[in-house]
Each structure stands twice: as structure tokens, then as C-alpha cells.
Amino acid sequence: MRSGLLSLLLLFAAIKPGTTSAAPSQPNIVFFLIDDLGYADCGFNGGTEIATPNIDKLATNGAVLEHHYVQPVCSPTRAALMTGRYATRTGVYTIVRPHSKWGLPLEERTLANALSAAGYTTAITGKWHLGEFDKAYLPTSRGFQHQHGHYFGALDYFTHVRDGSHDWHHDDQEFKEEGYSTHLITREAIRLIQSRPKDKPLFLYMPYNAVHSPLQVPDKYLEPYGALKGPRKQLAGMLSCLDEAIGQVVDALEKSGLRDNTLIVFSSDNGGPPPGTNMPLRDFKGSIFEGGVRGCAFANWPGKIPAGQRIKEPMHVIDWYPTLVKLAGGTLDQKLPIDGKDVWPMITAKAPSPHESILSVQSPTQAALRMGDWKLIQASNEPLDDEDAPKKGAKGKKKGKGGKYEPFMLFNLATDPGEKTNLIAQDPERAATMKAKLAEWLKDAVSSGVKN
């Protein structure tokens, strides 16, 4: 009996991270990525006009990440999350438009690949936005075992059509399903939670298309917002519907007995465009000012992440790749270098940011670098390439405030979070140090992967 027990213990000890055997300690992971959410639209980040009780409860009972950096627009943030690598390595600097002959490069290992190898059931419900012109670029070819939702951005929430193309799929096959997309994405997530294999942990990636335009929502969600007008009222209804949906997902986790062993991460994919608000940050989506690249974010895991925190240490969405893979017992051994850092000690034990510097990049010539409380912007004022870019004469759309970039700008974010005062002339020594560091980051930047 003793020898048999010893053999069993040795067998378990021999199982290495990255194999398909799932240890009981592996957390379930639910990652909510919210499209075009403003930094200050939710209550937990100062919003007062829109009710977000379910989101706020998760944030309050977890760690609010006040300096969580993302990319200026959506596809680059998704690529960074999936790979742990900056756009300067993947070439995903801008939006992958419908039917474009490119996407996240096929040599990239994704977060879903890594977690699947670690024994997880991996699923995406929501917007992919990393390439769909060829089967090799679809979610089920990139590590996801289940897929439900859409590939493009800016689709109609009710008809699921974008520019004449129907865009709704299940396991990467076209799928006809009636209903409002936020409701459908949520319903599928709940089904996956309830029907998951009981012997495997779950990675559920939920990149909602809410609250991205077109601003559409069932009328019942508008009723509490009679005092608001126009696009802001529509946004309020959409965010209220999203908040309800997130509450339903959390309720499904609780009823399935998964909540105590589930890490929930919540982030916007870029700064919000009007009618969202990013106050007190400067500018909007599509910008490398803080209003474009600082995401509204938090992390929650009962008993593992201390509640009531507001963490000011900077991090980037690339950090979730190594952090989650390590928590899952997976391996980070791979051919391509990882830019992200493990931020778990920062979130759970008040450790400092693991970054000496953090990069925000629109292109190889237009980028920003954060070091400590300081931020340097190098700009060429390239035109904004964005599916939400205001068209001449379009109604209900406003250009972001903040004006054009100067060639170089230096800000102290501790004293000037709104980036109002350019200190480039007052602190030339610091500027020179940061310029050199930024040049080091950009010297091997790959060109854009865009192909029509």
C-alpha cells in the first residue's frame, strides 16, 4: 500500500506545467474586454450618470487598475492581449477591417494556445477582430476550442450585419441567431459555464462589442435615462445592458460553484470616443494621449486579490499573457520574445510595477513612453485610421479635444494627469534619456501588417 501511494505521489510530481493535466488549483479565468468604454463612464472610476452596479461591485471587491495601458484602437489591443507582445513586434498597429487579407501573424502563439496546452477549456464569445479572410486566422485555429459571436467591428447589434455582410458565427461557421448581440454573447457564455467539462478549468474570453457604435439598444434600457439626450442617452442604455449581462455571468459562476476559484479581469480596449468620457484624461480613442491609451480596468478573485485596492502602479495589457499563463501552470517557453511582465505580485502584494518603461504605439514613428510618473510622446501627426473617424458632415460625431501633437512632448502624470503642460523645454536631461529609451524600443519595429 505504501509503495503504491509513493508511486502515485511521484507520478503527480512528474507532471510539468504546460501538459494537459489540470491541477485543482488552476483558476478559471473570465476576461471581459469592453469595446470603446470611456475611462470615467463606470461608477467605480468616477462616473455618476450611468448605473453600473454589477461592474462596480466587482471593482470594489477587487483591485482597480488606475494605470492600465491598452492600445489607441481595438485590434492592436486584442493582439497585445493574445500575444503579450507590443505592436512593434506583431505589426498590428491598426484595425483589421472586414475581409482584409491580413490579421494577427500566424507565427504568433496566443494566450488561448498557451492555456489550452495547460489543460484549459478555451472559449471566446464576442468580437475577434484579428483576421477572418482565411480559416487559419479564425479563433478555432488560434487556440480557442469554442467560438461564438462576430469577427468585425461596428456591426448592427440586431441584424449582425456590417457593410452588407452577415457577421455572426458559432465555432467559426456562419450562424443565424436572432437577438441583441450583448444578450446573445452573454447567453452563450452562461451555456459554456454550465456545460463545461467538470475536470478542466475554463478560460472564457468575452470581448463584447458594446459599447461601440452603432449606438443601439432595446428601448427598455433607455427608460432610466430620460434626463440624458442624444448619443449619451444611447450609450447609457448600452452600458446598463452590459452591466446587467456581466451580473448574469457572475451569477452563473456562483450557481455553478466556480466563483471562488475564478479570476475576473475587466478592461476597456482603448479610451472611449465621444459620447463617452475619459475625464480627467486628455483626448479620446485613437490618440496616444492618456485618454486614448489608459483603460478602465480591474481584477477580482475572492480571497486571492485583496479587496478595496486602487493600484496606481503602471501596467500594460501585454502583462496579462505571462501573468495568466503562470497562474494557469502553463509554460512561457516559446520562440518569440514576450514583452509583458508578471504583474501578480503588484496586484496581490503591493509590489512595484515590474516595468522600467511602458510603450504606447500607433506606428513606428508615432509612440509614447512612460517611465515612472513621466511620459514622453514622439509624434508625426499621422492621420487617424479608425472605423469611428468622424466623416465630414456626419451628425452626432465629435472630434476628440486636445489638438495635434507637438513633435516631442513631456508630461509629469503625477501632477498633470490631463497632459496640459509640455515640459520638454524645462527638463532637457530627462527628455534626452527618455528619447533614447524610446528609440531603443522602436529601432527594430516591424512595419504594419495591413494588406487590402
Q: Take residue 298 and report the three cell numbers written for it.
A: 480591474
Distance (Å, whole) CA 319 – CA 338: 9
Q: How many CA atoms lie within 13 A of 412 on its CB side?
A: 6
DSSP labels, 186-211: HHHHHHHHHHS-TTS-EEEEEEE-TT
| Cell numbers at 222, concatenated | 433607455
Tell me the H-state helices in 62-123: 74-83, 87-90, 111-117
User: For residue 144, how many other CB atoms are within 10 A of its CB?
Assistant: 26
Question: Residue 404: is it exposed, middle or buried by C-beta count within 10 angstroms (0-12/13-18/19+)?
Answer: exposed
Sorted by sequence, the CB contacts under 8 Å of residue 48 that are 6+ apart come out as none
8 Å CB contact between 183 and 210: no
Q: How far apart are CA 407 and CA 103, in angstroms?
A: 30
Q: Which residues touch 8 (CB under 8 Å, ≥6 apart)?
A: none
Residue 240, SS3 per DSSP: helix
Amino acid at 273: P
Residues 140 and 132: their CA atoms lie apart, in Å, by 11
In the three-class reduction of DSSP (H, G, I as helix; E, B as strand; rest coil), residue 227 is classed as coil
366-371 and 374-378 as β-strands: parallel, antiparallel, unpaired?
A: antiparallel
For residue 381, count CB atoms less than 10 angstroms from its CB and return exposed for 0-12, middle for 13-18, buried for 19 or more.
Answer: exposed
Q: Report the 10 Å Cβ neighbour count for 132.
A: 21
Catalytic residues: 74, 129
